[in-house]
Structure 1
Amino acid sequence: MENEEGTAIPSEPQTKATEKVNEVIDGKIDWRGRPARRGKHGGVNTCWFILVSFGLENVASLSLAVNLITYFTVTMHIDLADASNALTNYMGTSYIISVAIAVFADTFIGRYKSVLLSAAVELLGLLLLTMQAHKPGLKPPPCNIFDPTAHCHRIEGGDAALLFSALYLVAIGSAGIKASLPVHCADQFDDTDPKEAVQMSSFFNWLLLSLCVGGAISLTLLVWVQNNKGWDKGFAVSTGSMFLAFVVFLVGVPWYRIPVVRGKNALLEIGQVYVAAFRNRKLILPGNPEELYEISRMKGSAEAEEFVPHRDQFRFLDKAAIPAPTDPPAEGGDNQPPQAWKFYRVTQVEHAKTVLGMLPIFGCAIFMSTCLAQLQTFSIQQGTTMDTRILGDHVKLPPATLPIIPISFMIIIIPLYDRVFVPFARRITGHRTGITYLQRIGVGLVLSCLSMATAALVETKRKKVAESHGMLDAIPVLQPLPISCLWLSLQYFIFGIADMFTYVGLLEFFYSQAPTPLKSVSISFLWCSMSVGYFLSTILVQVVNAATKNNTRSGGWLHGNNINRNHLNLFYWLLCVLSFLNFLNYLFWANWYKYRPQDKDDPSEDEKV
Structure 2
Amino acid sequence: MTIQAHDPRLLPNPCGKSSCVSGGKAAILYGSLCLLALGSGGVKGALPPLGADQFDKRDPREAKALGSYFNYLLFSTTIGAAIGVTVIVWQLGFWCLDSGSPSTASSRRGRAPFSGLSRLSLYHSKTGRCHSPRLLKNCMRSMKRNHFLRRKKISHTNQFRCLDKAAILQEEAKPTSWKVCTVTQVEEVKVLTRMLPIIASTILMNTCMAQLQTFSVQQGNRMGRLLGSFEVPAPSIPVIPLAFMAVLIPIYEFIFVPFARKLTGHPSGITQLQRVGVGLVLSAVSMAVAALVEVKRRNQSIKSPLEPISLFWLSFQYGIFGIADMFTLVGLLEFFYKEAPACMRSLSTSFTWISLSLGYFLSSVFIDIINSVTKRLAPSKQGWLHGQDLDKNHLDLFYWFLSILSCLNFFNYLYWASWYKYKTEEPKMEPMIRFKEGSPVEGLSRNSTNGGPSVEDKKEDAKEEKEQVGEAQ
Structure 1 residue 219, shift from structure 2 partner? 2.6
Structure 1 residue 538, shift from structure 2 partner? 1.4
Please point out which of 12, 29, 43 is paired with 1:163. Answer: 29
State the alpha-carbon separation in 2 of the partners of residues 285 and 134 from structure 1: 72
CA contact 1:405–1:492 (8 Å) conserved in 2:
yes
Correspondence 1:328 to 2:155? no
CA deviations on 1:282-332 (whole Å, 9 max, x unpaired) are: 31462796334443536995x42321221122111101101233x5345xx
Gaps of 5+ in 1: 1-128, 146-150, 223-236, 331-337, 472-479, 600-609
Correspondence 1:578 to 2:372? no
CA contact 1:285–1:319 (8 Å) conserved in 2:
no
Correspondence 1:534 to 2:360? yes
CA deviations on 1:63-99 (whole Å, 9 max, x unpaired) are: xxxxxxxxxxxxxxxxxxxxxxxxxxxxxxxxxxxxx
Pair 1:241–1:284, CA change in 2 (3 A) = farther
Give the partner amino acid of 2:230. Answer: V
CA contact 1:445–1:579 (8 Å) conserved in 2:
yes
Q: What is the aligned partner in structure 1 of residue 56 from structure 2?
A: 190
State the alpha-carbon separation in 2 of the partners of residues 178 and 244 from structure 1: 21
CA deviations on 1:372-395 (whole Å, 9 max, x unpaired) are: 10111111111112111122xx01
Correspondence 1:564 to 2:391? yes
State the alpha-carbon separation in 1 of the partners of residues 161 and 146 from structure 2: 30
CA contact 1:425–1:435 (8 Å) conserved in 2:
yes
Please point out which of 194, 211, 224 is paired with 2:77. Answer: 211
TM-score, normalization: structure 2? 0.83
Please point out which of 242, 256, 260 is paired with 2:108. Answer: 260
CA deviations on 1:352-377 (whole Å, 9 max, x unpaired) are: 11111111111111111000101111
Which SS does the other structure have where 1:258 is aligned? coil
CA contact 1:366–1:532 (8 Å) conserved in 2:
yes
Q: What is the aligned partner in structure 1 of residue 313 from structure 2?
A: 487
State the alpha-carbon separation in 2 of the partners of residues 361 and 244 from structure 1: 40
CA deviations on 1:491-545 (whole Å, 9 max, x unpaired) are: 1011000011111111111111111111111101111111111111111111112
State the alpha-carbon separation in 2 of the partners of residues 179 and 300 from structure 1: 31
Which SS does the other structure have where 1:581 is aligned? helix
Give the partner amino acid of 1:358. Answer: M
State the alpha-carbon separation in 2 of the partners of residues 165 and 367 from structure 1: 28
Pair 1:190–1:167, CA change in 2 (3 A) = same
Q: What is the aligned partner in structure 1 of residue 158 from structure 2?
A: 312
State the alpha-carbon separation in 1 of the partners of residues 34 and 422 from structure 2: 37
Larger mean Cα displacement after TM superposition, 192-201 or 380-389: 192-201
Q: What is the aligned partner in structure 2 of residue 406 from structure 1?
A: 241
Which SS does the other structure have where 2:309 is aligned? strand
State the alpha-carbon separation in 2 of the partners of residues 268 and 549 from structure 1: 49
Matched ranges for 1:357-376 at <5 A = 357-376=194-213
Q: What is the aligned partner in structure 1 of residue 256 from structure 2?
A: 421
Pair 1:272–1:566, CA change in 2 (3 A) = farther
CA contact 1:204–1:504 (8 Å) conserved in 2:
yes
CA contact 2:64–2:268 (8 Å) conserved in 1:
no
Give the partner amino acid of 1:211. Answer: T
Gaps of 5+ in 2: 427-473
Matched ranges for 1:18-37 at <5 A = none
CA deviations on 1:161-201 (whole Å, 9 max, x unpaired) are: 11111111001100000111111111222222334323323
CA contact 2:135–2:168 (8 Å) conserved in 1:
no
CA contact 1:451–1:494 (8 Å) conserved in 2:
yes
Correspondence 1:181 to 2:47? yes
RMSD: 2.6
Give the partner amino acid of 2:65. Answer: Q
Pair 1:240–1:597, CA change in 2 (3 A) = same
Q: What is the aligned partner in structure 1 of residue 330 from structure 2?
A: 504
Pair 1:492–1:300, CA change in 2 (3 A) = closer
Correspondence 1:136 to 2:2? no
Please point out which of 126, 130, 137 is paired with 1:279. Answer: 126
TM-score, normalization: structure 1? 0.65
State the alpha-carbon separation in 1 of the partners of residues 122 and 203 from structure 2: 27
State the alpha-carbon separation in 1 of the partners of residues 146 and 336 from structure 2: 31
Give the partner amino acid of 1:383. Answer: G
State the alpha-carbon separation in 1 of the partners of residues 280 and 118 from structure 2: 30
State the alpha-carbon separation in 2 of the partners of residues 468 and 459 from structure 1: 14
Correspondence 1:379 to 2:216? yes
Q: What is the aligned partner in structure 1 of residue 351 from structure 2?
A: 525
CA contact 2:155–2:423 (8 Å) conserved in 1:
no
State the alpha-carbon separation in 1 of the partners of residues 404 and 18 from structure 2: 37
State the alpha-carbon separation in 2 of the partners of residues 299 and 311 from structure 1: 17
Pair 1:241–1:286, CA change in 2 (3 A) = farther
CA contact 1:440–1:501 (8 Å) conserved in 2:
yes
Pair 1:543–1:243, CA change in 2 (3 A) = farther
CA contact 1:274–1:352 (8 Å) conserved in 2:
no
Structure 1 residue 466, shift from structure 2 partner? 2.6
State the alpha-carbon separation in 2 of the partners of residues 242 and 584 from structure 1: 44
Pair 1:275–1:582, CA change in 2 (3 A) = farther
Which SS does the other structure have where 2:351 is aligned? helix
State the alpha-carbon separation in 1 of the partners of residues 86 and 377 from structure 2: 40
Give the partner amino acid of 1:385. Answer: R
Pair 1:362–1:244, CA change in 2 (3 A) = farther
Q: What is the aligned partner in structure 1 of residue 452 from structure 2?
A: none
CA contact 1:385–1:481 (8 Å) conserved in 2:
no
Pair 1:300–1:404, CA change in 2 (3 A) = closer
Q: When the two structures are aligned, how many residues end up with a matched partner? A: 425
State the alpha-carbon separation in 1 of the partners of residues 126 and 390 from structure 2: 55
CA contact 1:186–1:203 (8 Å) conserved in 2:
yes
Pair 1:299–1:453, CA change in 2 (3 A) = closer
Which SS does the other structure have where 1:386 is aligned? coil
Structure 1 residue 243, shift from structure 2 partner? 5.3
Give the partner amino acid of 1:398. Answer: P
CA deviations on 1:120-153 (whole Å, 9 max, x unpaired) are: xxxxxxxxx111111111103557x5xxxxx998
